[in-house]
A and B are shown apart, each in its own frame.
Chain A
Amino acid sequence: MNIGDAAITAVFGYAVVFVGLLILMAVIYCMGAFFKSREAKFADEKDDTPAQTEVKTEPVQKTEKPVAKGSAGRIKLYDVPDKEAAMIMAIVADTMKKPINELHFISIKEVK
């Protein structure tokens, strides 16, 4: 292969990678837009639903589960799944170089 051909192949190859990923980006944007609009629609419907049923339903009393033996208490999670909360607590314990059972987490909140 001569140098001229190599240069053309290199430029063309780089362009193919860019074009391929650009198209993929466009596809993902479309996908994202579709799902975002669907989520928004569901959220609207959800907002409507309680208003209709509010009058009919009686408030359900929540029964608190007993705290496990040796537990430091409960933790409040705001928009954080249990799995992520567990990871965050492990990271904090690791960073502080303290055993996790010696730490008391009060709440974890997702900062938006």
Chain B
Amino acid sequence: MDILETLKTLASESGFAGFFSIDGLKNLVMILISFFLLYLGIKRKFEPLLLVGIAFGCLLVNVSNFFSGGESSAEALYHPELWDAFLDHDSEFYHSYGHIMANGGLLDILYIGVKSGLYPSLIFLGVGAMTDFAPLLANPKSLLLGAAAQMGVFLAFFGAVCLGFTGEEAASIGIIGGADGPTAIFLTTRLAPHLLGPIAIAAYSYMALIPMIQPFFMNLLTTEKERKVVMTQNRKVSKTEKIIFPIVVAVFVILLLPSTAPLIGCLMLGNLWKECGVTERLSDTVQNALMNIVTVFLGISVGATTVGSRFLNLQTVGIIVLGLTAFCFSTIGGLLVGKLMYKLSGGKINPLIGSAGVSAVPMAARVSQIEGQKANPKNFLLMHAMGPNVAGVIGSAIAAGFLLAVFK
């Protein structure tokens, strides 16, 4: 055994050697970004359940994957070129999961769940089982606020086209404004899978930053008098209504936009399990065990798409900026319609609940509650804001379904 030769081979194959190239430097930057994301998730508690997984996936993929000649290293956990072949119509491996299974690393295999749309749909199953639609049923006008808060989606879509993104890419960027991570991932994997990394990270980061982003617009667009409005208690919703609701929504929305079937179908099935009262075991499983398992896989495999050589470019900066724009305009859209409802109702509706129309459940509703209480300590807006909040989930799924129908 030639010890010197062995040491040379070990040195040249080690990841440290990989840093001495342009792509290697990009990996290094991504590793630093992953540290920052870990800090945000662990120390600042920004969406930690997902962000810690995403950050660690980002770290893993960038310490294990150093490109040479466009090919990933053999030990890489994630191989972007396999997915390029998967999406290339002319490749013999077009849509071949077998090729991925045979040649991919651990994260390639986990990523199949993202690519096939499995994880976002399963997350929606859990979200449905955790969501109480009673505030929406008690006050159906909330749906208008959920619709209004999709303004950012379409404005950012338009802005992205103006900046030179393709229609498919612009649609995927716009959906960040829906403030709904699973929906953003679902749409992006179908329309612009190469942008999944930046879009998922932007979507989840902005969702985590809601308590910092929204209050500024809430205070800017509403008066002290409007913020002080105390809303009357909603009516009590019967058990039967709660059971019928998911069935009605599933039938109606899926008939309207069949492309929403995986998301709305799972959301409503989860909710039906919760409300029907005879499937408590299933409801408990999807709310807890299944949700946690999927979160593990989703976080780490989304993080895996942030390979330095592909992530660090001007396009990513554009996506981050457009995503923030989408988010801000969605908040503005909800608040403006909230103000309109305040005027039309003769001052009975607090416009602050409008900002909860973005579908980050329940954080956006919590922000409305906090801001409402700042203006008037006797104000309890949480349940009123939950209506637009859950309406936003349906609204963003419809927006995604529309964009999918147009561009697929």
Q: Give the complex CA separation of A23 and B249 in angstroms.
A: 11
| Nearest neighbor of A4 in chain B, beta-carbon distance | B161
Complex contacts, A97 vs chain B, CB 8 Å? none
CB of B150 within 8 A of chain A?
yes
From 21 to 52 in chain A, residues with beta carbon under 8 angstroms from any chain B beta carbon are 21-25, 27-29, 31-32, 35-36, 39
From 1 to 25 in chain A, residues with beta carbon under 8 angstroms from any chain B beta carbon are 1-3, 5-7, 9-11, 13-14, 16-18, 20-25
Asked whether A14 lies within 8 Å of B151 as measured between CB atoms, the reply is yes
Count of residues in A whose CB is under 8 Å from the partner chain: 30
Asked whether A21 lies within 8 Å of B395 as measured between CB atoms, the reply is yes
CB of A111 within 8 A of chain B?
yes
CB of B391 within 8 A of chain A?
yes
Q: Mark B107-148, 1 if CB is under 8 A from A, else 0.
A: 000000000000000000000000000001110110110111
Q: Give the complex CA separation of A9 and B140 in angstroms.
A: 27
Q: Give the complex CA separation of A111 and B398 in angstroms.
A: 37
Asked whether B399 lies within 8 Å of A17 as measured between CB atoms, the reply is yes
Complex contacts, B312 vs chain A, CB 8 Å? none
Interface size grouping (class) on chain B: 35 or more
From 134 to 173 in chain B, residues with beta carbon under 8 angstroms from any chain A beta carbon are 136-138, 140-141, 143-144, 146-148, 150-151, 153-155, 157-158, 161-162, 166-167, 170
Asked whether B158 lies within 8 Å of A10 as measured between CB atoms, the reply is yes
CB of B403 within 8 A of chain A?
yes
From 328 to 385 in chain B, residues with beta carbon under 8 angstroms from any chain A beta carbon are none
Complex contacts, A29 vs chain B, CB 8 Å? 140
Asked whether B158 lies within 8 Å of A6 as measured between CB atoms, the reply is yes
| Nearest neighbor of A79 in chain B, beta-carbon distance | B236
Asked whether B157 lies within 8 Å of A21 as measured between CB atoms, the reply is no
Binding site for B on A (CB under 8 A): 1-3, 5-7, 9-11, 13-14, 16-18, 20-25, 27-29, 31-32, 35-36, 39, 111-112
Shortest 9 CB-CB contacts between residues of A and residues of B: A6-B161, A1-B167, A10-B154, A28-B140, A21-B147, A21-B143, A10-B158, A25-B143, A25-B140
A-B contact pairs, 27 of them (CB 8 A): A6-B158, A6-B170, A10-B154, A10-B157, A13-B153, A13-B403, A16-B257, A17-B147, A18-B144, A20-B253, A20-B256, A21-B144, A21-B391, A21-B395, A21-B398, A24-B143, A24-B253, A25-B141, A25-B143, A27-B248, A28-B136, A28-B137, A28-B143, A31-B137, A31-B245, A32-B138, A36-B235
